[in-house]
Structure 1
Amino acid sequence: MDDSLIDTLIVGAGPYGLSIAAHARAHGLNVRVIGTPMDFWQRHMPAGMLLKSEPFASNLSSPSPGSSFTDLHPGWPMGRPIPLGSFVSYGQWFAEHAVRGTEDAQVEHVEAADPGFTVTLSTGERVRALNVVIAIGVRQFAHVPDQLRSLPPELATHSVDHHDLSRFADREVTVVGAGQSALETAVLLADAGARPTVVSRKEQLAWNAVPEPDPSWASRALRGPQSGLGRGWRTWLWSEYPATTRALPDRTRQKIVKNTLGPAGSWWLRDRLDHRITLRLGERVVEADENNGRVRFSTVTSRGGIHLCQTDHIIAATGYVPDVDKVTILDPQLRRRLRLRHRSPALSRHFESSVPGLYFAGLAAAASFGPVMRFVHGSSFAAQRIADSLARRRTSTSSGAAIPPKQTDKSVAPQ
């Protein structure tokens, strides 16, 4: 194999990227991980946030023992929410102990080469890789409703844009949405001294049930087993057997992705959503514009009533929608070669796209493998499948079947 051609370059150092790296290196592969460990969680999730997932569903994945969240935090019980800072520290600890080597840089461009790919980094280096794994997380897929897109960023943002909400102290802030992100953002805004209002088209808020650390036999039989996505037989299937989800008809799978774990708040958040937060349920924003440095917007109720409102700022806590066109690090010609499934790459059972050697993990894989790919819990399945596939590709290329004779490539920076 050409010494200048590495096995795999992983784009992203979040839970998926780090987990894939740990499994790939256990196979003896030459892997480079580009990104700052847990950077998205540290800089784009709100300070004071608590994770919705239980400890067993918040693990990064390594084939070596001793790398789970509770290995770093022994005795952390089920039902005790994990603070954002604790999870970030765990991910950084995992990177140091289970991966041992990430690069604090950014991938700027990925283009096809022969063989593999040429990847340009923010440092100016150009790297040749037989395989590239896109594990970029969710930030690029932040969804802002059409009605808010014309507003300037000083007046309208997505929840992913905020780590420090103290900038909104003494200001009126409208949060659009009804899920955990919307409700927790509203609570944290109130904690920071803002005057938040939640606007949601839902008539009622939904809340997750209080977990049962040791449920009775009757409870397990009636409510189903506990899984990374919650309790229930179908939830357990989508959570623990993503390969089954992938085998379903496309229409069925997309219905599962859309409807599993819909907008709802964590049980521990319910009491914190108090008198400090104004709730406007059963309303949807239909129009918004700037008016004297504030946002003027109108909503329509479920009964057809129209309300005219003003606020200092609007935060869209409206989730994430994967779209390959937003993965702008991929060369346009490379993107055009991708076979798509609902604007996401259609993936093989090993997470490989229609472009050989180009893999996708995390939210971009949800259209193929189901809702667990929206959560940290899906990283174990994805990491094992991808690493096994990378190892097989390495074995086949080592025989010389897919690698042409070595040629001088002056575009590759010295290592």
Structure 2
Amino acid sequence: MYDLLVVGAGPYGLSIASHAAAAGLNLRVFGRPMASWRDHMPRGMFLKSEPWASNLSDPERRWRLDVYCAGRGVAARHGHPIPLDMFAEYGLWFARHAVPEVDERMVTRVSPCPGGFEAVTDDGQVLHARTVALAVGVMPFVEIPGALRGLDASLVSHSSHHSDLARFRGRDVTVIGGGQAALETAAILAEEGSRVRVLARADRLCWNDVPPPWERPWWQTVRSPQSGLGCGWRNWFYSERPGLFRRLPESTRARIAATALGPAGAWWVRDRVEPTVQVLLGHEVAAARPVSDGVRLDLVGRGGAAGSQRSLETEHVIAATGFTATCDRLGLLSDDLRGALATVADGSPEVGRDFESSYAGLFMAGLVTASGFGPAMRFVHGATYTAGALVRGVRRRLRAGGGPSTIVRQPTGSGATGSPSVPLPGGTA
């Protein structure tokens, strides 16, 4: 029986595995390394985060992004975006040097068993581990607006479903959303020769400012410090103090997780969008139906255009509408295990100080923990804090010898019910 099974081999899973291996744990890591970055992001995109805020985490900080870039004759400089394909290659390099061999099979089911957990791979092998860390990334949580659900994939797709947008050359495409994914997708589509428009609910698009120089007068640094999530003391708190963030009241954490660092485009995308992309603001899709040449969208106005109605026809809709990380979407967990998870108000799993869920021995990482540890968990930058804290929690759990039938504590989240002596039924908000 393994000490730890890491499910997922993206930035969070690889970072956790590196820290766990350094701690001497007997572990296995499953998943295709950097799969989301390699398979679900169109060629030509860039990393929005600063290079120094995009490191995967190993305990000695040897395998940083700037080290990888320097070895290839590229300078990872502040204010200069890194191509996503280079970042994906960096992740593979990190996996080769900082992580035990990664098994590229997928884990399809995790269930409780005496003394720990049972995991089944996609080819039917059964493994057992005393603890499990779920680092499944964002793909299980794809969110498509309700009005578009049920339409054929030839008409509607999510922005994460594309690695190559060239197939839309010469076609009319509508991108829904006002954030980086929507705006950069639209820019690439226009550059590929598509007729593209952006449809957003907001009354205006937001654009991030050009980052200030790394070296600034001390008074500017004090007034607005740099952080992995941008400048300012609020962003610094979210970025650098996830453990303190977790001590905020649950309602405050949920509000911040839902609203902080809202949709915005990177400064270097703006000049690629404004001259070439039609933008329709203050509208959302009320209904959609197939027509002979694609899909007809019935739109309703919001904000200053509230109450107005209009329609448009397009050949394809790309929904760049983000991800909703709730327990009910963790389909690889068995029904009894998923149902035993206590949740917080937004339906995500409640996690303790070490990223352990209410089901002892089952740990969570990444986007699914944003309501517990803050907006940093939506970005690669959060992997460093997560890896250290989670592996410390795994070691404590192993020393305690508690099996997964033991609940660690009485959860206080709004989705939690039951007694601390039995598995708690979860819920979704």
1:239 & 1:386 partners in 2: Cα distance? Answer: 17
1:182 & 1:164 partners in 2: Cα distance? Answer: 15
Give SS of 1:364's match.
Answer: helix
| 2:334 paired with 1:338 | no
Give the conservation status (yes or no) of the 8 Å contact 2:17–2:100. no
Give SS of 2:239's match.
Answer: helix
2:198 & 2:61 partners in 1: Cα distance? Answer: 44
1:390 shift after superposition: 1.4
Counterpart for residue 352 of structure 1: 356
2:329 & 2:98 partners in 1: Cα distance? Answer: 31
1:250 shift after superposition: 0.9
1:148 & 1:331 partners in 2: Cα distance? Answer: 29
Instruction: Write the letter of the residue equivalent to 2:273.
Output: L
Counterpart for residue 220 of structure 2: 219
Counterpart for residue 46 of structure 1: 42
Give the conservation status (yes or no) of the 8 Å contact 1:150–1:289. no
The CA deviation string for residues 67-91 of structure 1, in whole angstroms up to 9 with x for no partner, is 1101111342101101011100100
Mark the CA change 1:357 to 1:166 in structure 2 (over 3 Å): closer, same or farther.
same
| 2:289 paired with 1:289 | yes
Mark the CA change 1:367 to 1:402 in structure 2 (over 3 Å): closer, same or farther.
closer
Counterpart for residue 316 of structure 2: 313
Give the conservation status (yes or no) of the 8 Å contact 2:9–2:30. yes
Mark the CA change 1:394 to 1:272 in structure 2 (over 3 Å): closer, same or farther.
same
1:382 & 1:29 partners in 2: Cα distance? Answer: 17
- Structure-to-structure mapping, 1:185-334, within 5 angstroms: 185-212=185-212, 213-222=214-223, 224-302=224-302, 303=305, 304-334=307-337
2:369 & 2:352 partners in 1: Cα distance? Answer: 10
1:62 shift after superposition: 0.4
Give the conservation status (yes or no) of the 8 Å contact 1:227–1:235. yes
1:374 shift after superposition: 0.6
Instruction: Write the letter of the residue equivalent to 2:5.
Output: L
Give the conservation status (yes or no) of the 8 Å contact 2:293–2:314. no
Give the conservation status (yes or no) of the 8 Å contact 1:48–1:84. yes
The CA deviation string for residues 289-313 of structure 1, in whole angstroms up to 9 with x for no partner, is 1111410011122322211110000
Give SS of 2:103's match.
Answer: coil
1:18 shift after superposition: 0.2
Unpaired runs of 5+ residues, structure 1, are 404-415
1:122 & 1:188 partners in 2: Cα distance? Answer: 35
| 2:9 paired with 1:13 | yes
2:323 & 2:216 partners in 1: Cα distance? Answer: 33
1:39 shift after superposition: 1.1
Query: Percent of counterpart pairs with the same letter?
Result: 45
1:279 & 1:248 partners in 2: Cα distance? Answer: 38
Per the normalisation by structure 2, the TM-score is 0.90
The CA deviation string for residues 247-290 of structure 1, in whole angstroms up to 9 with x for no partner, is 00011111111221100000111111133211111111111111
Instruction: Write the letter of the residue equivalent to 1:46.
Output: P
1:402 shift after superposition: 6.2
The CA deviation string for residues 186-212 of structure 1, in whole angstroms up to 9 with x for no partner, is 001111111110001111110111112
1:389 shift after superposition: 1.4
Instruction: Write the letter of the residue equivalent to 2:19.
Output: H
Counterpart for residue 388 of structure 1: 392
377-386 or 72-81, larger mean C-alpha shift: 72-81
1:215 shift after superposition: 2.5
Unpaired runs of 5+ residues, structure 2, are 405-429
Counterpart for residue 420 of structure 2: none
Greater relative CO (CA pairs within 8 A, separation 6+): 1
Instruction: Write the letter of the residue equivalent to 1:261.
Output: L
Instruction: Write the letter of the residue equivalent to 2:61.
Output: P
57-66 or 387-396, larger mean C-alpha shift: 387-396
1:232 & 1:98 partners in 2: Cα distance? Answer: 33
Give SS of 1:234's match.
Answer: helix
Give SS of 1:230's match.
Answer: coil
Give SS of 1:227's match.
Answer: coil
Counterpart for residue 69 of structure 1: 65
267-276 or 199-208, larger mean C-alpha shift: 267-276
Per the normalisation by structure 1, the TM-score is 0.93
Give the conservation status (yes or no) of the 8 Å contact 1:283–1:299. yes
Counterpart for residue 28 of structure 2: 32
Give the conservation status (yes or no) of the 8 Å contact 2:360–2:403. no
The CA deviation string for residues 330-372 of structure 1, in whole angstroms up to 9 with x for no partner, is 0001111100112111001000001110000000111111111
1:233 & 1:392 partners in 2: Cα distance? Answer: 33
Give SS of 2:28's match.
Answer: strand
Instruction: Write the letter of the residue equivalent to 1:12.
Output: G
Counterpart for residue 147 of structure 1: 147
Give SS of 2:29's match.
Answer: strand
1:100 & 1:69 partners in 2: Cα distance? Answer: 19
Give SS of 2:183's match.
Answer: helix
1:326 shift after superposition: 1.1
1:9 & 1:396 partners in 2: Cα distance? Answer: 18
